[in-house]
Amino acid sequence: MCSTTTAADPSPPGPSLLERLGDRRLVVVTGKGGTGKSTVAAALGMAAAKRGKRTLLIETGGAHGLASLLGRRSARYRVLPVGEGLHLLSMNAHDALEDYVVRQLKLRSLYRLVFRNRFMGPFIDTVPGLPDIIQLGKVWDLAQEGSASQLHWDLLILDAPATGHGLTMLGSPASMMDVTRSGPFHANAKRIHRLLTDPAQTAIVLTTLPEPLPVNEALQLYQGLGPAREQVAGCVINQVHQPPFEPLDAWTAAAPALTRCEEPGWLEAVALTDHWVTTTRQQRASSLRLGQALGLPTLALPYRFQRQLEQQDLEALADSFAHQPLETP
Ligand SMILES: Nc1ncnc2c1ncn2[C@@H]1O[C@H](COP(=O)(O)OP(=O)(O)OP(=O)(O)O)[C@@H](O)[C@H]1O
Ligand SMILES: [Mg+2]
């Protein structure tokens, strides 16, 4: 799916996704559920780590998609090494809150008394946006550790929740600022909001599949981002099938003649090829529609024929992030 430059096409190839992200400290990966957010986050992290960036992958809400993808049992709230220069933190709101309160108050027993009782525990989960902002507070904290003298993380990659919840999470600091108006909660929310909305520090990467419904949802998500749209570095179109041959139009002319032979094995092969050509055409139409409607760089990430993705698949996808030029509409 790499675009090539020919004598007739003098425009140089676009940057890779990794190059486009530049020196940003935080990358938020979001998209429809099941479109490959965790896979993209993991492979992007591998690509960045290979370039020498000390990278931390973060998953929230007790999710463990990243951990299982990287062959680790998700350890509660511990930074785990998952590769050379690559680490993983799986968190939930309760762990992040405990961390915060204990660091502020220096008294774990007090935290337990106040927050781990049967009233406060469920309360945290039911206040809209509260679990999100608590976890984003930890992300903010991790982003600060990189002082000039002691650079800790060059890059944080947040495997964010899917579309609707993803938008709520990104909007949670602003909601908290509206509710609080002043005081320490307000000040914290403001700091987090500043990090998330700063295009120099934070980029957003969208994920989708080359199919009509995921494309519609990606477009809705993009609209829903409001002013944060300018922070979208690109959209990864995941699970793109390689074409069986080029040009696909050759099949239209050849297929009728090929079905004249009635040998069952042959007909099966023709039917499979026909399905492959049809899928490729549909994927191309969806990708084109997405690219034109978004007006943003896209990256076609190849489909890996594996029941379960393994290290070598992630490395191949990481290679796409490091070297495959983004397609500009
Ligand atoms: N390029 C690819 N080729 C083949 N399979 C893929 C590819 N990308 C992702 N998958 C598979 O698709 C499934 C969904 O991927 P993934 O878990 O990354 O999506 P997600 O958006 O994080 O899902 P969720 O919303 O549940 O967190 C997984 O089984 C994964 O192995
Ligand atoms: Mg996931």
239 Cβ below 6 A of ligand 1: yes
Q: What is the pLDDT of residues 76-108, one digit of tens each?
A: 789 999 999 999 999 998 888 888 777 766 666
Task: Give the confidence band of 4 by pLDDT, cuts at 50, 70, 90.
Answer: very low
Average of per-residue pLDDT values in the chain: 89
Cα 46 to middle of ligand 2, angstroms: 16
pLDDT in tens, 18-72: 999 999 999 999 999 999 999 999 999 999 999 999 999 999 999 999 999 999 8
Mutate to test the pocket of ligand 1, among 237, 242, 283, 309 (most ligand atoms within 8 A of CB): 309
Ligand 1 touching residue 34 (CB < 6 A): yes
Pocket test for ligand 1, best of 30, 37, 39 (most atoms within 8 A of CB): 39
Q: Which CATH number fits domain 17-242+294-323: 3.40.50.300, 3.40.250.10, 1.10.8.10, 3.40.50.10420?
A: 3.40.50.300
What would the 3-class secondary structure string for the chain be? CCCCCCCCCCCCCCCCHHHHHCCCCEEEEEECCCCCHHHHHHHHHHHHHHCCCCEEEEECCCCCHHHHHCCCCCCECCCEEEECCEEEEECCHHHHHHHHHHHHHCCHHHHHHHHCCCCHHHHHHHCCCHHHHHHHHHHHHHHHCCCCCCCCCCEEEEECCCHHHHHHHHHHHHHHHHHHCCCHHHHHHHHHHHHHHCCCCEEEEEEECCCHHHHHHHHHHHHHCHHHHHHEEEEEEEEECCCCCCCCHHHHHHHHHHCCCCCHHHHHHHHHHHHHHHHHHHHHHHHHHHHHHHCCCEEEEECCCCCCCCHHHHHHHHHHHHHCCCECC
Q: What is residue 5's predicted lDDT score, i.e. its pLDDT?
A: 47
For the question of whether the overall pTM of this predicted structure is more than 0.75, the answer is yes
Q: Would you kindly state where each structural domain of the chain is located, as residue ranges?
A: 17-242+294-323
- Whether residue 276 has its Cβ less than 6 Å from ligand 1: no
